Structure formats: C-alpha cells, structure tokens
Structure 1
C-alpha cells in the first residue's frame, strides 16, 4: 500500500514523526520537471513537515512548497486543501493560503524522492508577517485573533469529511493520552511531575463537561505563527497552515488561539480576554464551553511541552522544534500560574456571566456592641494625602489614630482597592484589591463562630470549615475541634492587623490577601465579603468603566479623553498619578502641573485664600498686584503691563486683540502646523491639521501663514533650515504691501511639532520684518514658558529677541485656570479703544495667590535648574535609544520640553503614526502616561512636571526601550 492509499493517521499508532529532509536541490529539480517552474528554495520551519519559500528568477515569491510528512495520506491532505478553499470562499475578507492552480489544475501530487514517495504541493503566498516570536501583542491584535478564530470556526461548522476523524496529538480530545504517553519519557523529573499534576487538575475539570461540548471541523492551529499581518498593517487578516484540520471540540479552536498569546512579552491570563469576548460575539460560547475553555488552554500547554520536548529528542536537527521549547514552556507556565477556578470566573465576568453566590448567612464574628469604623485607604482617602500613600506604615498609623479616637475595631474593607503602599515606577500593577477584611482591635476580643463547623489550626492561620464556606483568619489563636454557631473558638489580639477571609465551598484555594485589579473578578468570585459578620454593610465599589459610561453619556462626544479605555485618575503627587485601582503612573506629559501634582504650598495657599476671599477680579485686593508684579519681574523691563485671563486660548485670543487694537489693523501672520487655542481668534491662527483636519482650508481672510520652520521634517532640513527666515520675511513684506498687517504670532519653540527649536536667528529676522511693516509680535509661551526649557525661563530668550506681547498659561497656575498676557504700557493702553477688559476669574484672589506661589516654588525649589539637568540627562538617554531602534527618528527639544519622533524610514521620514499611538498604549501598561503630538501624531510629547526626578526619567527611558524592544 502506498502512502497515497494509507489509512487515516493515528498518532498513538505512530507517535514518532520526524520531518522529511529532502535536499533543496532535489526538490527544485522535481518542481521544474513536474510543474515547469524554475525556482530557488529557502527553507522555512515546520515541526513535522518540510516547507520552503519558492522564488522565481526575479526574486519574486511564487509560493510555499510544502512536503507533507509521509504519515499523512491522500484523504487527509485533500481535507486540508478543502478546508482552506472553504474558508477562502466563505470569508473573502481573509487572505488564505491555498494550493496554487495553473490552467485550473492544482500544483500538487505524489513524487518519488531520495527519501521515498512524498506528497508535494505549492501553496499561495500570503504576503506580510506572522506574529512569530514573543514580541508584545496589543489588545487590538489579541481581539483580532479571536475574530479570526471565530470566522474560521463559523465557516467550517457544517462541514463533514471522512478524514476529519484522524487522530492527531494536537487534538485536545486526546490530551490525556498524549500527556500520559509522552510525559513519563521526559528525562527532567521536575517538568514531568508538574505537567502530569497540572494536566490532572485540568482533566478533572474538563472531563465531566466533555460529552456536552459541541464538536465540529476546525483549523485548530490558528495561532500567532499561522496568521499574517499585511505589509504596513497592524491587524492580521491572513490565515495559513491548515495542517491540523480535524473534528474536535468547537471551543478548542479558541483555546488553541489564546494559548499562543501567553508566551508574548507582558502577557498575563487577562491578556486573552479581548480574544475571548470577540470569539463569543461571533460564536456564542455555551456555559459548558466557558467552563471548559481554560482547562483546554492548560492541556494545550501541556501537550505543546511534552510534544515539543519529545520532537526535539527525536529530531535533534530540527531547528524549528528546538527554538519553540522556551515558548511552549512559557505558555504552560502562564496557563497554570493562576488557579483554574479563578481564571474561569474571570472569563465568566468578562463575558457578563458572573454567577456569584453568597454563602448562607452567618452570625457575628465579634461580640455585639463594639464600635466598628471603616478605614478608607483608597486613592481619594485623606489618609494618602501629601504622598503618604508611598509609606506602607501609613495604613497601620491610620488604624491606630481611629483606635485612639475611640473605635473598638477598625476594618479595611473587602474588595475596595488600596492605594497605600503602592509602588511608584513599577511596570506591574500592584496587588491592591483585598480579598478579605483586615481588622485592628483596641482590645483583645473573643473569636465567635458565625456558623457551625470544624476548627483547623495551622500556625497563625485559623480555619472554620462550614458546609458552604470556610472562615479563614490569619493572626488569631484558637483550638482545633468542632464548634457550634455563636460559640467562642479563639481570640483576636489587640494592636496587630488580622486578616479575615470567607472562602466559598471547601476553601481549597490559597487566596492571596490582595490581588491585582485586572484579576480581581476571578479571585473575588472565590470569596464572600466578611462585612456582614462584622455588623457592616457590604461595600459595592463603582468601577472605572461605569464612571466612563456616565461621562460619555452626559459630556459632548468631542470633549475627548486620553486613551480608549482610560484609567480613572483620582490623585496626583509630584510627577505621579494614581488611579482608583491603586495603580501609580509616571506622568511624563502633564505640562499643566508645572511644579508637581498636589504641591502642598500651592494647595495651602489656595485653601487659605478660599477661606478668606474669592470673588470677581474687578474688586480691589492685594493678591492681584503681587502676582502681576512677580510675572513682570521674570520678563525684560519693557514688558511691564499684565492682563490676567483664565487659559492659554484666552491668552492668545487677547494678545491678538491687543495687537489689532494697538495697530488699528486686522491682518495677522501665523506659522503653519501650530496650535494656539480654541477661542475664535486663537483658533483662527491655529493651523495644525491634527487638531483640525480642515485647519488650512478654513482660515478667515485676515489670517496668513508662513511655512512651518521645522528643521527635521519641514521644507528645509538640517543645514538648509536657515532658509525659513528669509522666506518668511519675504512673505511678510509682500503681505505688508497689500494688506494692513497687524502682527505675527508663533510659538517661540515649535511645541505642536514636539518641541522643535526654531532655526537660529529665525525670530530675530521675522520680528524685524513685522516691525518694519508697523506690526507687533506675539510670543505664544503657553507651553514652553516658565522655565521648562531649563536654560531659559522664556522660549523667546533662546532666540535672543524680545516680543511685543507675551501670552502664557498652563504652567502659570499648576492646574488652576489662570493665564497672563504681558506687553508694554503704551501697547496695553491702546486696547482702551476696544472698550474695557476684565476676566471674572482670571486674576481672582485664588488664581492670583496660586500664580504667585507657583513662581515662588519654581524659584525656591530651583525647578528651572532641575529642568536643565534632568532634561539634558533624559535627552541623552533618549538619543541613545535612537542608535538601537530604527523607528526612533530623532529627539527634539531642550530641558523638559522634548519630543521623540517616530518614523518608518529615516530617509523618507514616513511618519509612524499608528506605531506611536500603540507605543503610548503600551507605555501605559508599563505605568507611564504619554501621548502623541504633531500634525502626524507621531511624536511623543515629553513635558513632565518640572520637579520630575532623574530616577523617574530613567524609568521612562527604560520603559520606552522595553517597548521598542518587545513591541507594542
């Protein structure tokens, strides 16, 4: 009997499958002789087959030559090709690897080779890249994997084929047999024992469900290696390698797919949830399938490990098999890192199918009549003010204060995230969600049994085993034995924290005292809230997603927020931000909070003034004069007259109105690609297409533009950048000959482009031309002013000029809405022709006191010097990254006003817009808040609070290095 007539393959009859090893030269001759194709062949990896990429004489890929393992017969190979054709026909939006046809005939067949009679076929090339390797997969890519798995599953659901009953080692219906066959042969006892133990646990969960799981034909190898991302794309749309097609559990399609996510950088069990939700949306998972899913993932990991290690021994020359060993072990490790019931509960929660069941109501844990207070250690709690959350001892001190004030018992609530003690500069979210209640007692108290059961004691852990739940108390004393409900069975000590957990069922799981917020739904499903046992009502936290839903329901859609799924930020301290889940982020983008979040001097000054007076700025009070004097003192002597407003947009708007009033003219020149604000006048001179796609086409007739003086990606680059100034001067002079030119407005340091310095001498030449035409110059210092450049307090100082009008905001109030416009007295006086000016809250008592305090802090804490030293260090760190990562085109800026520009090609400067957005998302995962800027949104705007520490900027540089290395 020939291989073509062989019966269906049965792995358990033939477990050894070394891949064919036919020389490439021999195959090239067969292809030429049989199919008339003259090709070169480049070997591709495969565990059990032999694959080559075939190129023609011009180097164009003409197909993938696949030499099937001789163990597979004609019927099975036909099944694989049929499945590929069905998916291609059923889902024309997918690119599928199929047999190449010429004149309607498939290029496939059985051929005699030096290694026997083998089946060869030429498959179409699905151009692009696979997700091979262990680079990070974004949630969008993971979601797409679930979409692809569901699409293929849906297409093949009704197909029947005799060859579908073949028995492969990868069919998870046979996982028990595969593991029991191969694991005992593994020479590493630790690997052998762990695989057998974890497989037994998974099988115990799976096998009671097996008969109820739907079965169908499927791909069952739709992994990161077997999907293809189109050239220049981000999301996969191609499917290759139908080699494992057979009939098995429908949900195994998803299990195989998501298991392949687990070895990628940064992957945790929760990383697969986007794929699970996407699959369920298209292929509704039954409750049994949800219960079976993670046991199948564990078994997939186990089968990969034992099969890969076995193949590596059997076929030591197979580099593909050898290279996969670490990835396969990581899949298994990640699949078994969190207990099965926890992951299954997490899956159910992600699909909206949580079935939490409280145990039967019990009695009290402590005697009645005690005064019980709840200790709030969450993100908003006063306990964590002034950076106190960074000290783990804050929690015990907070409890001690309540006890000293008269509480008998202080309780840290179950399931409410705790910020206290959370780390800064951490790539991992902290374990912040309590799975029980922590108690502090003023005096020792008897421990009462809330339900009958048996008491078990193991060191400091006391357990009461009931019919429906287990009470676990860490830090108590008790005697073992049976106990009735309400009886005393131990003692709780005074002054030290005691953890109380109520575990559902038999309490077999070792539930950590706190868990990460992303995994909390899974862990909390294993426990009940002890609050009723303490005479308290259970706490029901409001999740960030619910708050986001409310925000989006009531705010205008155009009022956007950072990130598609933003963390709910409720606290800041210096350069750090904290969300409601107790995660702390490094804020590298917030130039509004110049002297640091929650600066105590600013907060104290604002609070004190609010207790004194806050009113309309037209009243007479000292603070406004003191603030205006301090601003003017930072500027050249001739800039001596101050207007106070609410924001940067208002500051630029007023500056333009002052220019028009002073000159009696209306036409203004602005630099292209800049953003100045959202008010009528400031928007009119804004030409950034990132902020307004129609910016250039919708300028009013009084606005004229000159080229963006961007020496990196503008019209003139590098040494040619000196040409911007003469061209701008020529434009201004030409305009002055035909319109009544009022003035010129520009950022003094090209901020919207990502902190690009203007060419040397640019403003000197342009300002001279404007003044020659009788106009005035406006320096938009809204972003760059106030010491951010480090070496200069104001951006115009870097250019060696003095503008006629300065507009500033953002840094002025450290987050309080206040801005300023400063000009010469004679210019300001001419604004009287427009009537009077006032801003109700710009320059109010509170905003004035805050503004004055900010200037004091910048000077006294030497924050401008910090911007210079720390900023220079950061710039060098970032530039070094550019020597190792081609995507990083350049680093712009000075001080703490930097821009990291990403390009796909350093010659063409094609902007890496999609990559930049994904990098920002990945940085958020690592605990860094960052956003893109520039007309192409391909520049990281690096503008942290001026107090940022060297340690923090090093963390940012390291995190960015990690992202560029691992992927995004």
Structure 2
C-alpha cells in the first residue's frame, strides 16, 4: 500500500484484505540470511502472517530469520525493533528477541521476492522453548506471565513512534469489526461466537471511555514467552510483530486468554497473573470491568482469524495446528459469565463488592450448621444420603442454613474436578408444622420470583404464583418437613446456580445478597483464609513451617480424607500420623470417655498404663519386654539415646546418613538429612559418627553394589577409636522415601556394634505397627532383633504418645541413674488412645490391608514408571512407598523443582502428597492404613494425569 507521493500508508487490516504469510523457498531464504551476515541451515518455525525460520550453525542456533509480510510498511517494522529495545532497556533481566548486530550493524534489510519486497531481520535466538506445548501451567508460571505483561506495559507506557498508528485485527478495539468481517464457516460456532461477542462488546463499551490507551506488545502469550534456565518460569519475549496502540488492559487480556487451552486451565487459574500484573501496573476499576470481556473477545478473534487463515493458506500448518486450542480458549473464556469473573477478579485484588440485604422478613427459623466443622457431620454422617434433610429433621423446628458457607453434605470424596459445594442461597426447612413464607417487601411476583429493591427473590422448590404482593402477604406455605432454597439475586444478573464451586464462589456470591436476615439469621461474614494464614505467620516462629506456600485450610478429617474449610475433600496420601484413619470413632469415644474419668501423670497407679505397656511388650520379640512411655517420636529417640548412654557408660552414637529422627537436642544430633538441615553433616557433635546412607538407588553404592554398605559400616564401627554406645537407624529407610535397606545390612551392623559392647536401636517411629504389610516391625524384614525400639507417631493416631521398648537388663542399667517419668507420656488418656489404636489395628486387619492395598498401589505405580520417564524408581513396601522423580534415568539427576510442582498440581486434583529425601524429589506415600482400593486407584489415576498433562 502506497500513497501517490510514494510514502507508505499505515497498515489497515480492514483495507488490506487477505494476508497469506510469505512462503519463500528455503534456498531463497538462506540467501537472504547469508546476505545479512548470518549464514546457516534453515528450519521453518511457522507463523500466522510472517515467515519465521531458525538459522542453525555448526554449534547450534544462530538466530531467527523473520520475513515480514509484504503488507507491513517499513516504519511499522521499525517500531517493532525500537519497542523491543525499549523493553530490554527497561527490563534488563528479561531476554528480548532484539535484532542481531553483525559487524556493528543490525542484521536487517529489504529484499525482493516473488511476494513483493520484504523486510528481513535476524533476531536474537532465545534458548529454552516457549510455553505453548508445556501442558499444565502452574500458578508460579501463570504469575510470571502476568508480571512480564505488567512490566512490558509499564515499559511501553510512554513509548511513541510513527509506526504505532496501524489498524490490526489483534487490536481489541477492533474485535467486533473483526468478528463481523470474518465470521466462522461452522454455523453453530458462528452463532456462539456472535452471541458472546455482542455481550462482551457491550460490557466493554460501558467503560471504554475510561480505558487508557498506549503502546503494547499485544501478543504476550505462551507462543511468545520463552522459558528460562530453570526450565519452568518464562524470562524471554519474542515476536514484537503486533506492536501498536491499544487499550492498556488488553496486554493482560491477551496473556490470560492463552492460559485457557492448557490442561487444567480453568478461568480462575488466571488469577495469579491478574494479581501479578496489578502489582506492577495497577488496574483501574474500568480496566477490571473490561478485562474478562476482553478475554472473551480475544478468544472470538482468535477463532475467526484462525479459521480464515487456514481457509486462505491451507499449507500453513502453524495456523491449522492452532485451531483446536483457539476454540478451547474461546470456550474457556465464555464458560463462566463475565460478570462472575469480574467479581472474582475484584475479590482476588482485594476490592470485593457485596449487595446489601433489604429489610423485611420472609419467615423465622433457627440456624442450623451444615458446614465443614458442624457436629452434625461427625462420624462420617456427612457421607450419608440426604444428610442435610435428616439433620434438619432432627431439629424438630424450622431451621435455616446460611448462604455462602460451604456445605459438607454437598462435597464428594475422590473428586478430581471439585463438585459445587458453596450455596448461593439459604436453605429453609419447615419443621413438623406448615410454615408460611410472607413477602418481605412490596413488589410483584413474575416468573415465580418476587421483584423489588433491585433484587429478585427466588424460592427454589416452592415457587409462588405470579401477581402483586404487599409486604407481609403470603407467598407460599411450606408443608411439614418442606424444604426451599431462598436466593436473592441482583435484577440485572444472570441466573445463579444454587451451588457453585469454591474457586468461583466469590464471583457468584457478588451477584446475590445474603438472604439470612430475611429468615432471622445474622449476616454471613465471609471467612478470609489468607488473613488467618497471615495471623498464623505473625504468631508462630518462621521455622514452624507449613505445607505449600498457599496452603488450603483443613478443618476436618475422616478415614483417608481431609476436608477444606471451603468444601473440597482431599485424599490424604501422606498422613501416617493417623494410622487407623482420621477421626476414628473408637479413638474419639475412648479418649472422650477417659477425659471424663481421669487424666493425670504416670506416677499414679491406674489400669490404662498397664494395659498399654503389656500390649506393646507382647507385640515385640523376646527379650524386648520393658516399656518407657513419652509424648512423641522425637522424645522416644532422645530417651533411647539416654538409655544407651546409661546402659553402656559411653556417649558415642553411630548414625546413618540421610536420616531424620526428631527435633530434641539428642534426636536432632543424630539426624543427618540435609533436607531438614542443610548443614546437618558438618554440624554433628563429636559424639555422633555417621556412616553412609545405605541408599541402593541414590547412594555411593548403587543397585547390586549396595551389598557393600553393610560390611563398610561394620568396618567403620570396628575402627572407631572408642567403642560406641549404640547404632541407631530406621530399619526401613524412611526419610529417603521408603527405600529398603540392602539385604543383611542390619545383621552386619548389629553384629559389629554388639562386638564392641554397644546397643542396636531401631527407630520404628515411621515404619512400625504394620505399615510395611508383610512385617509388623521394620526390623523383621532384616531378620534381626534390636536392643531398643522406639515407636510413636501413629501409635496415638494423632494423639501425642510414644514409647521406648527395651530389655529388662538395659532398663535396669538405665534405672541405676535415677527415676524416669513423663507428665503426659503414659497418662490415662494417652494410654487409652494408644491401646485403642493397637486394638483397631488388630480387629480391622490393617496390617493385611497394608499388604494387599500396598501391593496393588506399588504395581500400579510401577506401571506409571513404564510410561513416564520422570519416575526413576518406586521404593518401599506395604503402605510406605516412595516415587523417586528424576530428570534423567541414566544420571538419576533429582527432579526437585518438578516434584514440588507435581505435588501442587495433585492438590488441585484432590490429592495431598509431599516430597521427601535429601533432594526433595521423592513423593512420600504414607496414607492411613485404612486406605481402600478405590482410593489407591484414584491416587494413581491423578498422578498419571498430572504426569501426562504437566505441572
């Protein structure tokens, strides 16, 4: 396009017509690259409207040859180059695909071609690859994308150039015109796009006059953001081909739209990007209002433009391959109403808006708690059919449950997607007598809803007849036991579901008023889990960590399930503290009964302590028959070390590398895991002697060579200048991820330590009490009997109780130093809790379940390993398993970052699991022993999904 004077006009998509991408033969393109001073082999990269080719040299990529569409004037291409340089100057830590310089000059120029004169440039090649094929994008990646978009927007806020004045189809200010012009060849899709475009365009136009306009990149998508050295987070930007002016918020809208085609890319997963953008370039109210409608418009433009480009340029594989993901972007964008997403975005940015409740009274009812912590839901009652109706009927009076509080009866176990569990309506039950519902204000009933005060009152389950009503007039009469959902919706809002997903709840709840006061209930104050976390962090020492950077708030457990406060049931695959399952009714009842009788210290004489000690001693082989009771595993190990010191008159302890034994002074001294203490090895006291971790997968001796660990450790013990008091180790290597010790290892080492007059201590805190399935105690797998055994953690099913079991002779020698007692170790309540756990383990056959379900789980995980190269090995036995993740099976490089991200993604799919090991790359699988087969299968299915679709 040229004016009469020969000066190129600005590009105008609507005047240009069809824009097939240049398609120069490789030989011709290679000649251009050679002329620009960057010769090499060329490889097509694909593009929508330009031609991009990778230039490879002998040592790798040299740059990207970009042949601009002949329709674009030179000054516009120059604007792209200057804009890229401006962003690089403003954000020097970002990698920007600027034009290469060759011999002190930019590698760019104009060249004739069969398609007309083209501008050719060689751009800097950014290694790392883009995000477009990376599968699921985690919250940290999404946040980085938003941050980059904000930084680019800030960098170009005052950018000016003559080449910015162009009319592009990607300018969201032109989105409706683009959809009108191009349409879609599929009639059904065309109609869906048309409806969504009209609605979104109307929403944007209401605030368009308040939207700032500036220069922008307008294509900061997964196609154009390059991953950095960590292999995960983007730090590079390519393709400034769409540089122009536009609505500032469009920069963010474009970035958000591309998230929606990735696995798990639901609309609410875009919120980290919104928060990150806002932190760099704060959004105005008008921009917040326009943002999601613009995401919808971007999706519509992509779909119609992609269809047109493929119809025009059938050989353009790049455009053809994008059609499916472009439709997923559009579908995801319109899958949630824009008003809901706008309210959700406001809430995420700390600017929520709530509708006031009008005065008036519909009926009077007593409140009923159907939330996650409701006593009515105890003992698994929430899993019963019609739980809510049965709970309400037990009240024998009219009752109402509030809106906005997650209903535990609406949740479901083993739920990967997350069922709707947050009510947008209050639920009212009539009680044993009929209940009259009266109009709370004067208005009119239309289509079954009472209108007035800018709201519509809906009574789902009992619609009143149409017609005028005065305040106090009868609307409907609920029969005895009748139920109705009372919803107050803004008159201009779309239909609001009675139950919504917890992720979308703040968005939907912004469209309704709280109906509680109409029923005599107080206003529902939304719980702020983030504020609670801030209070925790302000009160607790920083070192007292929690799982995840943004942890869910867990307020209930049942069996193998944990329930979030916002109404999501999670499968607990890591909690070996509660061996017999969360909230086991036998433990609950026994502890409550004993608290009502007596709780004191162990110096008093009562039955419970005797019963527990006798039972524990009976579970161990001779001569282990003396029990000392404490509060925790750390204290048990600490006491075991004291016992060894007293019994031998020595202080030296031989410990194993990569082990964790506790937090007390002594148990920490023998803990060598660098995951828990990066300086563990170098800071051990001189009385602790460390032998190699007998890790057959990752240690110094691997696979078959692991047989050398036992003889080497035995030789090290025999070579110590002073005989040790004891050798201490888990008999099944727990902290490393359930790695079994090499056959014969403990036999060799126990023999060596006993030769020198020392004791053998087995730390069974994690692996004992039947968890290994085939063996009740870990040391049984090695065919040995220790001198001292420590047990805790699952012994009380979460109640603080631990024990040291030793021989009569060792106990006597320990006693020669004085008496011992623990105030609450062995208290009546502690003893009853532990005795009940041991009884349940036996009566419910949980050791056998650990074997059967554990074998099933391990076999399934090994099947995953055959399909997913990131799994280097599956360790363990019974329900103490470890899935070791590696970046390369040959080198066994730990996949530490990946393990954390996989755990984060599993959480979104309803599974709680955490990494362990010195490299934090082993998924530790230690669920309650009541794990059923369907739950084991669910875990494997979710892990398979995450490994297949990304994290």
Question: Partners in 1 of 2:344 and 2:38 — Cα distance?
Answer: 53
Selected match of 2:819 from 829, 836, 849: 836
CA contact under 8 A between 1:454 and 1:465: conserved in structure 2? yes
- Which secondary structure does the structure 2 equivalent of 1:774 belong to? coil
Selected match of 2:353 from 348, 352, 355: 355
CA contact under 8 A between 1:411 and 1:439: conserved in structure 2? yes
Shift of 1:429: 2.1
Shift of 1:780: 0.6
CA contact under 8 A between 1:220 and 1:252: conserved in structure 2? yes
List per-residue Cα deviations over 1:205-228 (Å, max 9, x = no partner): 111211221100000000111111
List per-residue Cα deviations over 1:422-442 (Å, max 9, x = no partner): 111111222111111111103
Shift of 1:341: 1.3
Selected match of 1:707 from 680, 689, 692: 692
Selected match of 1:846 from 801, 808, 829: 829
Selected match of 2:517 from 508, 518, 532: 532
List per-residue Cα deviations over 1:259-301 (Å, max 9, x = no partner): 1111111122211111111111111111111111111111101
Selected match of 2:586 from 590, 594, 601: 601
Aligned to 2:372: 379
CA contact under 8 A between 1:392 and 1:421: conserved in structure 2? no
List per-residue Cα deviations over 1:403-432 (Å, max 9, x = no partner): 2xxx1x210111111111311111122211
Listed as ranges, the matches of 1:122-521 within 5 Å are 122-133=122-133, 135-183=135-183, 186-359=184-357, 361-366=358-363, 370=364, 372-403=365-396, 407=397, 409-442=398-431, 443-457=433-447, 462-504=448-490, 506-521=491-506
Question: Partners in 1 of 2:460 and 2:722 — Cα distance?
Answer: 82
Question: Partners in 1 of 2:612 and 2:475 — Cα distance?
Answer: 67
Aligned to 1:28: 30
- Which secondary structure does the structure 2 equivalent of 1:197 belong to? helix
Selected match of 2:922 from 939, 954, 960: 939
CA contact under 8 A between 2:410 and 2:420: conserved in structure 1? no
Aligned to 2:853: 870
CA contact under 8 A between 1:258 and 1:297: conserved in structure 2? yes
CA contact under 8 A between 2:366 and 2:520: conserved in structure 1? no
Shift of 1:563: 1.1
Query: How many equivalent residue pairs?
Result: 948
- Which secondary structure does the structure 1 equivalent of 2:410 belong to? coil
TM-score relative to the length of structure 2: 0.98
Of 639-648 and 384-393, more deviation after overlay is shown by: 384-393
CA contact under 8 A between 1:478 and 1:491: conserved in structure 2? no
Aligned to 2:730: 747
CA contact under 8 A between 1:476 and 1:493: conserved in structure 2? no
Question: Partners in 2 of 1:87 and 1:30 — Cα distance?
Answer: 27
- Which secondary structure does the structure 2 equivalent of 1:109 belong to? strand
Selected match of 1:691 from 676, 687, 691: 676
Question: Partners in 1 of 2:235 and 2:822 — Cα distance?
Answer: 55
Selected match of 1:790 from 758, 764, 773: 773
- Which secondary structure does the structure 1 equivalent of 2:816 belong to? helix
List per-residue Cα deviations over 1:46-76 (Å, max 9, x = no partner): 11111111101x1410000111111111111
Question: Partners in 1 of 2:161 and 2:732 — Cα distance?
Answer: 69
Is the counterpart of residue 553 in structure 1 residue 538 in structure 2?
yes
Question: Partners in 1 of 2:485 and 2:200 — Cα distance?
Answer: 30
Listed as ranges, the matches of 1:851-862 within 5 Å are 851-862=834-845
Shift of 1:700: 0.9
Shift of 1:479: 2.4
Shift of 1:487: 2.2
List per-residue Cα deviations over 1:541-587 (Å, max 9, x = no partner): 43322221221121111111111111111111111111111110000
Aligned to 2:65: 65
CA contact under 8 A between 2:444 and 2:452: conserved in structure 1? yes
Name structure 1 gaps, 5 residues minimum.
none
TM-score relative to the length of structure 1: 0.96
Shift of 1:537: 1.5
CA contact under 8 A between 1:134 and 1:263: conserved in structure 2? no
Question: Partners in 1 of 2:114 and 2:174 — Cα distance?
Answer: 34
Selected match of 2:549 from 555, 564, 568: 564
Selected match of 2:608 from 600, 606, 623: 623
- Which secondary structure does the structure 1 equivalent of 2:562 belong to? strand
CA contact under 8 A between 2:36 and 2:109: conserved in structure 1? no
List per-residue Cα deviations over 1:799-827 (Å, max 9, x = no partner): 00000100111111111111111111001
CA contact under 8 A between 2:225 and 2:236: conserved in structure 1? yes
CA contact under 8 A between 1:134 and 1:327: conserved in structure 2? no
Is the counterpart of residue 10 in structure 1 residue 12 in structure 2?
yes
Aligned to 1:962: 945
CA contact under 8 A between 1:39 and 1:55: conserved in structure 2? yes
Selected match of 2:909 from 921, 926, 934: 926
Listed as ranges, the matches of 1:694-773 within 5 Å are 694-735=679-720, 738-773=721-756
Question: Partners in 2 of 1:231 and 1:477 — Cα distance?
Answer: 61
Question: Partners in 2 of 1:376 and 1:513 — Cα distance?
Answer: 17
